[in-house]
Amino acid sequence: MAKLAPSILSCDFSRLREQLLAAQAGGAEVIHVDVMDGHFVPNITFGVPIVKAVKKILPQATIDVHLMIETPRRYISEFAEAGADIISFHVEAERDFDATINLIKKHGKKAAVALCPGTPVEFVSEIISKLEMVLLLTVNPGFGGQTLLPGMDEKILKLRREIARRGLRTEIEIDGGVKEENIEYLASRGASIIVAGSLVFSDEEAIEEKVRRLSLKIKPY
């Protein structure tokens, strides 16, 4: 049903290589990288050098870059050249959707837009056919370890139905607040990629085992 995408936001950066290799050994094919600028969101994380490092450590993985930055179009080329495979930009942070999507595609990367929890799915109606993925942020952007906001399950279902109605193959990524108790339910609403940060990285259970077990929960066959 869905793929698990561990988010490095919650990893121990002094052990980045070890933890990424463990996630890969557990079967993770997609690695989620949260880029935050301290303007679009109240937090600052990391940028291009970390994307390069993740790609170097896991050259076979799909590097899924979630840009939580103002005017993301300015930085698309740098992230693409650093090794991003999927680039998501926020519709709330960019005026020119078409130019940004075209630039991502010009680099041969998968184009995605991200929606904050309060942004309705109708916002993407006119551009969805140009996108490979829509990221639904299910917590307020900026921090890991938050609680899934109410109503997000309905939002996923609504977008999944709209994609089906239009005969598209757009992926839906769910990001934020994914926990043991809601991961299967979120997958059943129509998510195709499920991001998990604190659930994967801040726990005593070994990362490899955790990724394997969670992946089985959302992809039982």
Ligand X SMILES: O=C(CO)[C@@H](O)[C@H](O)COP(=O)(O)O
Tell me whether residue 47 or residue 176 sits nearer to ligand X (CB atom).
176
In the complex, the smallest distance separating the C-beta of residue 62 from ligand X, rounded to whole angstroms, is 15
Nearest-angstrom CA–CA distance, 114 and 186 = 17
Q: Which two tokens stand for residue 202?
A: 């801040």
Q: Residue 102: is it exposed, middle or buried by C-beta count within 10 angstroms (0-12/13-18/19+)?
A: middle
Residues near ligand X, by CB under 6 A: 7, 9-10, 32, 34, 66, 139, 141-142, 144-146, 175-178, 195-199
47 is in an annotated binding site: no
Binding mask 148-177 for Fe ion (x = CB under 5 A): ---------------------------x--
| Rounded Cα distance, 178 and 29, in Å | 18
Instruction: Compute the distance between CA of residue 159 and CA of residue 61 in angstroms, rounded to an integer.
Output: 27
**Chain Cα centroid distance, residue 26:** 18
Measured between alpha carbons, how far is 157 from 211 in angstroms, rounded to an integer? 25
Does the annotation place 89 within a ligand binding site?
no
Beta carbon of residue 164, minimum distance to ligand X (angstroms, whole number) = 26
Between 66 and 155, whose beta carbon lies closer to ligand X?
66
Residue 6 binds: one of Fe ion, ligand X, none (C-beta under 5 to 8 A by kind): none
Determine the Cα–Cα distance for residues 52 and 49; give it in Å rounded to an integer.
Answer: 5
Residue 10 interface partner, choices ligand X, Fe ion, none, CB cut-off 5-8 Å depending on type:
ligand X
Which residues are identified as catalytic? 34, 175
- Report in angstroms how near the CB of residue 105 gets to ligand X at its nearest: 23
Residue 196: contacted member of ligand X, Fe ion, none (CB under 5 to 8 Å, by partner type): ligand X
Residue least distant from ligand X (Cβ): 197
**Interacting residues with Fe ion between 21 and 50 (CB under 5 A):** 34
Choose the contact partner of 101 out of Fe ion, ligand X, none; CB within 5 to 8 A by kind: none
Helix ranges (H only) for the chain are 16-25, 48-57, 76-82, 97-106, 152-165, 183-188, 198-201, 207-218
Could you give the CA distance from residue 186 to residue 183 in angstroms, rounded to a whole number? 5
Closest listed residue to residue 30, CA positions, set 66, 79, 71? 66
How far is Cα 73 from Cα 154, in angstroms, rounded to an integer?
A: 30
Q: From the annotation, which residues make up the binding site for a divalent metal cation?
A: 32, 34, 66, 175
List of residues contacting Fe ion (CB under 5 A): 34, 66, 175
Q: From the annotation, which residues make up the binding site for substrate?
A: 7, 66, 142-145, 175-177, 197-198
Q: From the annotation, which residues make up the binding site?
A: 7, 32, 34, 66, 142-145, 175-177, 197-198
